[in-house]
Amino acid sequence: MTTRFPDIIRPFFGKLVWRKDASSKVIYLTFDDGPVPEVTPQVLDILDKFNIKGTFFCVGDNVRKYPEVYARIVERGHKTGNHTFNHIKGFSVSAEVYEENVLKALAYINSSLFRPPYGRITPTQKRKLEPRFEIIMWDLLTHDYNRKLSAESILKKIKRYSRNGSIVVFHDSIKAANNVLAVLPAAIMFWISEGYEFGIL
């Protein structure tokens, strides 16, 4: 998966949100695949340190298992979004099964924001969800879940691809733990040094 989908290709996906206002020097931090007690609280502490709010696209079954961690996200003023109940791949199931899984997650995640796991969603699945959800993609994927990548190489890509209105994806998952906890503070300090502010979706 690429760090950034080319701008020229994005319109072919239809009405999806990839990036916010390009005229404003604002970064939008998002976190996928949590909440989990091993990582999410530490991510929240980092954000608190810099007084930044983000958006957490949560897996419904994780919210079911760790409601107290989910409650911390909300209590600290962050937004949440739906990331399906079981982190399913849109290309591997029917539109009906996909919608059912998303609605199952909705029972645990009170949000009108949705992000498809792996960025994979079919046109039919998209049509089914659009009346109820704003579908959020990304402008910059950090690849923090890739354990073969070093924190230094991830930060280098972040510095290269950040731009006005970027929606940035990190992961508050066990798989991404080492990278996200190392990279997130350094990335925030970089954005601050470059004059960026932080918005919330």
Rounded Cα–Cα distance for residues 44 and 85 (Å): 22
Cα–Cα distance list, 194 to 23, 43, 158, 164 (Å)? 15, 22, 12, 11
Helices (H), 91-132: 95-106, 123-129
Residues in CB range of 16: below 8 A, 6 or more apart? 10, 126, 135, 136, 137
Looking up tokens 């209590």, which residue turns up? 75
- Of the candidates 172, 55, 54, 58, the residue with the CA atom closest to the CA atom of residue 104: 58
Catalytic residue annotation? 32, 171
Per DSSP, the three-state class of 177 is helix
Q: Provide the 10 A C-beta neighbour count for residue 87.
A: 17
